[in-house]
Every structure is written in structure tokens, then in C-alpha cells.
Structure 1
């Protein structure tokens, strides 16, 4: 049995119909003559890719927050030292 190649736009269309329109795998399989397992693997790969990209975006946001908090912490330490010296005068 020869494997059938599907182009990227067709795969994206099927994935969107499944994820965003809520069409079941069986319906898509019958309508577009694509095996359920193939559609299922496309959807899984898409979800994994989305999770990865979301993870990377979240990681960058957390790094920025961490940097801001470190700067704020440094400032507060300096302020605490300054006010401690003022109290002891």
C-alpha cells in the first residue's frame, strides 16, 4: 500500500475543522477520505507544537518578570541600607 502525501494547507484545514469547529475524526475521515489515525497524528503534532511555542513564550515572560524583581530587590536592599544609616545618625 502506497502512502498518500497531503499538502500543508489541506492538513491545516482538517486540523482546524477538528479543533476549532469540533468536527469528529470519523466525520472528517469519511468526508475527506483520510484515515482517522492520520488525522489524529496531525492533531497531536499540532497540539505538541502549540504547547512548545506557548511554553517558550511563557518562559520569556517569566524571565522578564524575574529580571524586574531582581532589580526591584536590589533597589530595596540599597534603600534599606540607606535608611538604616539615617536612623543610626
Structure 2
């Protein structure tokens, strides 16, 4: 049985909350039981209820995730507009 450090636990929780990684993918990547990862996430969320520093960190991670989604959507829209502009530029010539 491998020993999991606190640093690894925090990293796994952060990957789930901030990056949106699934519990299953994290469990597989780190060789940890699905239930264990789920318990870490639940414990962190409970800690956020009583610990202002953890709550603030959690809010920042969620904001980063939201901004990443918005950026990805804006990049898709930008790519679409570039393709449309190129298409219409060919039509004009």
C-alpha cells in the first residue's frame, strides 16, 4: 500500500475542483480508490464551511474553472469567426 502525502491529496482535490477532472480519472491516474478521492473532496468541502482560508481558496479555484470555460468558449467563437471571414473573403474575390 502506498502512502499518500497531504500535498498529493490537495493536488487531487484541486484538479477536481479547479480543472474539472472526474473522480474516476483522478483515481485511475493516481492509483487511488474512487471512494478515497470522493472522501477527500467531501472533507475539503466540509472544511470550507468552517475555515475561511479554505473557503476563499475554494472560491478562487471555482472562479478559475469558470474563467477557463469562458475562455475556451471565446476561443471556439473566435475560430468560427476566422473561418467565416476567410470563407466570405474567398467569395468576394
Q: Tell me the TM-score range normalised by the shorter chain.
A: 0.5 to 0.7
State the TM-score, normalizing by the size of structure 2.
0.52
Structure with max Cα Rg: 1
Q: CA offset at residue 31 of structure 1?
A: 1.0
Structure 1, gaps ≥5 residues long:
55-89
Partner residue in 1 for 2:27: 29
The whole-number CA distance in structure 1 between the counterparts of 2:8 and 2:37 is: 11
Structure 2, gaps ≥5 residues long:
53-93
Structure 1 runs (4+) deviating above 2 angstroms are none
State the TM-score, normalizing by the size of structure 1.
0.54
The match for 1:20 among 18, 21, 42 is 18
Determine whether 1:8 maps to 2:33. no
Partner residue in 1 for 2:45: 47
Over the aligned positions, Cα root-mean-square deviation in angstroms equals: 1.2
